[in-house]
Chains A and B, each alone.
Chain A
Amino acid sequence: DAGVIQSPRHEVTEMGQEVTLRCKPISGHDYLFWYRQTMMRGLELLIYFNNNVPIDDSGMPEDRFSAKMPNASFSTLKIQPSEPRDSAVYFCASSFVGDWNQPQHFGDGTRLSIL
């Protein structure tokens, strides 16, 4: 089991540029979650998908943020245009649901710095 795989691990870019973060969930997991973590706001849920369909995007901060899941093994989080206040660590997590909820498994995150 390779776990949740995120890329890139680090991204440094200038304000106004487009940023694309990528995530490969654990095979067989049908839920995928995108989080943002900062010291000030803690761990925030941005959006989550079930069977590739967005279920709740109420945490997406602005229209500059968008997320897609074109298939069961790949998702992207895009910021366009990026701003310095978007600097944070972005985590992707995946899980499945049986008779009971199951734990979410997190990727190693993408540390994003917008200059």
Chain B
Amino acid sequence: GENVEQHPSTLSVQEGDSAVIKCTYSDSASNYFPWYKQELGKRPQLIIDIRSNVGEKKDQRIAVTLNKTAKHFSLHITETQPEDSAVYFCAASYTGGGNKLTFGTGTQLKVEL
């Protein structure tokens, strides 16, 4: 089955700096890659996703890149703010796989003032 590895497990940045979180996946059939943000005590919320027919997607300060050959994808947050502090999860799934997501183990991002 699919295996998703996520790094780093913790990340501390200064406000205004950029943050990058990386994930690798094992199943070349995977073609959908969402990213979730989970604040303390809250539910995971989708922040951005990418499908295998594109290499990059942006939404304001957030971007995701996908390298199908290397089977890795990354989340980029620019101009970080304290409210970006949360746990971020990457995930992967493939069409025909029942919409089942395989999640990474999460990255605790802390944005310091």
Contacts and interface: CB of A to CB of B under 8 A. Distances in A.
Interface residues of A, number: 24
Contacts, number: 53
A104 B45 contact: no
B85 interface: no
Nearest to A3: B43
Interface in A82-105: 91, 95-97, 99-105
A42 interface: yes
Q: Indicate the size class of the contact surface on chain B.
A: 20 to 34
A106 interface: yes
Contacts of A56: 98, 100
Contact of A103 (B49, B97, B106): B49
A109 B43 CA distance: 7
B31 A108 contact: no
Given A42-B105, A45-B100, A48-B100, A108 B46 contact: no
Interface of A: 31, 33, 42-43, 45, 48, 50, 55-56, 91, 95-97, 99-109
Interface of B: 31-32, 34, 36, 42-46, 49, 51, 89, 93-95, 97-101, 103, 105-106
